[in-house]
């Protein structure tokens, strides 16, 4: 048993199932799938996942069988542990590609090999599940390599569509365009996804990202949204403009609204009113935005043209309301201050102030810095949304100070980008979540 697997077992036996699974996720590619399956079976039983427990137990009892490897990988993907699925599905793919063994004879009869069509169908089934698992880990370059290796066996939908999608998420724009241009017209459930990658490619052609670290450029290509600020910390150490953790404050909220105003001015968009969402943070930010823009504010109603819908964090809003924002009315804009990039909201905003993994709102309990610069624990700010809006408006708009490693991003650079994007903004079509961080990689908490 490897050191990592021993560590995972030790954590499980001590009662730390989450820690055990974290070790398995990080070390899965270096561990034998059948040995991993023994521990996964125990973890699955504890979680009440009977499907995963059964598939794990079967693999542990019959290692090296393609169908059991596939069933285990499939169950792992279904339960959200894609990293654990990948090595099992890779091994299953290797086995189903292997030439069939010589048929064993018994008397005058011999076992018939599986027909070629059945073998091809089995290979494709395993291949697509492996691609799904790699996508779930955001290992798009690996998914693309697998798809390209087996391209001769693929159809257009969803097979080569997945080539286009993973090429986009890996930053391979030329390849994505080439494969997309050769696809047949999508039908049925694939019509929407096909149109979505088509719109991504159109945005990339109109406003190509500068390089693999152009966070604003790639955010625009993938989501159709405009990102107004970059994190000033750790740009060259793996964050590339995103936040891992941010203790937000009123000055940064005000700065986000000022950058929103810069985008609206640059694109010639002036909302008729601000639509207020019900949660306290969004309502506070919406009231402040209405005052700053000099327009009235009213409770959100779906499908109203010309309004600016303001959210602090869409993941904290009523899911039923968020779902209504997927398809927006003409000139209905959605602004989100703190967009989670590791767990993206169900819809993408037209404008986001920042991309963060964990953002603590100014009115939530947390660490704040006192007058002497020392961190202090503070309780929640229980003021009303109206009072919080006043605090946002009274704060000096302040971009957070960082380590000096992030490229300069003055108002003029943001405005120039918005002008160049204006012809295709706000983006057309449904605004589904984009689950992947795309080509720009950033460090994250496990």
Domain boundaries, the chain: 3-100+116-200, 215-424
Is CATH 3.40.960 the right assignment for the domain spanning 215-424? no
- Reading the block at residue 249, the tokens are 């404050």
Better pLDDT: 1 or 370: 1
Q: What is the pLDDT of residues 114-163, one digit of tens each?
A: 566 677 888 999 999 999 999 999 999 999 999 999 999 999 999 999 99
Question: Once rounded to an integer, what is the mean pLDDT over residues 47-75?
Answer: 97
pLDDT for residue 398: 85
Q: What is the pTM of this model?
A: 0.93
Q: Is 107's pLDDT higher than 60?
A: no
Question: Once rounded to an integer, what is the mean pLDDT over residues 241-264?
Answer: 97
Which of the four CATH numbers 1.10.287, 3.40.50, 1.25.40, 1.10.10 does domain 3-100+116-200 have? 1.25.40
Q: What is the pLDDT of residues 4-23, one digit of tens each?
A: 999 999 999 999 999 999 99
């Amino acid at each position: 048993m490897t050191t990592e697997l021993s560590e995972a077992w030790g954590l499980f036996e001590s009662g730390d199932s989450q820690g055990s699974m974290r070790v398995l996720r990080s070390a899965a590619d270096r561990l034998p799938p059948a040995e991993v399956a023994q521990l996964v079976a125990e973890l699955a039983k504890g979680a009440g996942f009977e499907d995963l427990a059964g598939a794990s137990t079967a693999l542990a009892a019959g290692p090296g069988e393609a169908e059991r490897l596939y069933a285990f990988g499939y169950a792992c993907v279904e339960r959200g542990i894609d990293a654990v699925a990948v090595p099992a599905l890779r091994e299953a793919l290797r086995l189903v590609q292997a030439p069939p063994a010589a048929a064993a004879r018994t008397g005058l009869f011999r076992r018939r090999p599986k027909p070629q069509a059945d073998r091809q169908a089995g290979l494709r089934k395993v291949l697509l599940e492996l691609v799904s698992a790699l996508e779930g880990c955001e290992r798009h370059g690996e998914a693309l390599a697998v798809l390209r290796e087996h391209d001769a066996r693929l159809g257009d939908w969803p097979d080569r569509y997945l080539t286009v999608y993973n090429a986009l998420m890996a930053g391979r724009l030329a390849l994505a365009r080439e494969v997309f241009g050769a696809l047949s017209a999508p039908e049925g459930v694939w019509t929407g996804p096909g149109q979505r990658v088509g719109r991504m490619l159109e945005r990339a052609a109109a406003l190509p990202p500068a390089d693999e670290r152009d966070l604003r450029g790639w955010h625009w290509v993938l989501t159709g949204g405009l990102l107004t600020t970059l994190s000033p910390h750790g740009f060259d150490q793996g964050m590339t403009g995103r936040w891992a953790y941010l203790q937000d404050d009123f000055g940064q909220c005000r700065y986000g609204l000022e950058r929103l105003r810069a985008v609206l001015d640059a694109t010639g968009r002036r909302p008729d009113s601000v639509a207020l969402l019900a949660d306290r943070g969004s309502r506070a930010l919406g009231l402040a935005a209405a005052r700053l823009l000099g327009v009235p504010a009213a409770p959100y109603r779906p499908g109203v043209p010309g309004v600016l819908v303001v959210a602090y964090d869409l993941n904290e809003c009523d899911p039923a309301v968020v779902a209504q924002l997927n398809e927006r009315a003409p000139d209905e804009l959605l602004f989100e201050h703190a967009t989670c990039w590791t767990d993206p909201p169900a819809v993408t905003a037209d404008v986001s102030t920042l991309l963060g993994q964990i953002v603590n709102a100014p009115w939530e309990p947390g660490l704040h810095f006192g007058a002497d610069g020392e961190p202090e624990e503070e309780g929640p700010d229980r003021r009303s949304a109206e009072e919080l809006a006043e605090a946002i408006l009274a704060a000096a708009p302040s971009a957070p100070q960082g380590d000096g490693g992030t490229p300069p991003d003055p108002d003029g650079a943001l405005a120039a980008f918005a002008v160049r994007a204006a012809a295709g903004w706000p983006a057309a079509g449904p605004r589904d979540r984009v689950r992947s961080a795309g080509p720009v990689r950033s460090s994250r908490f496990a």
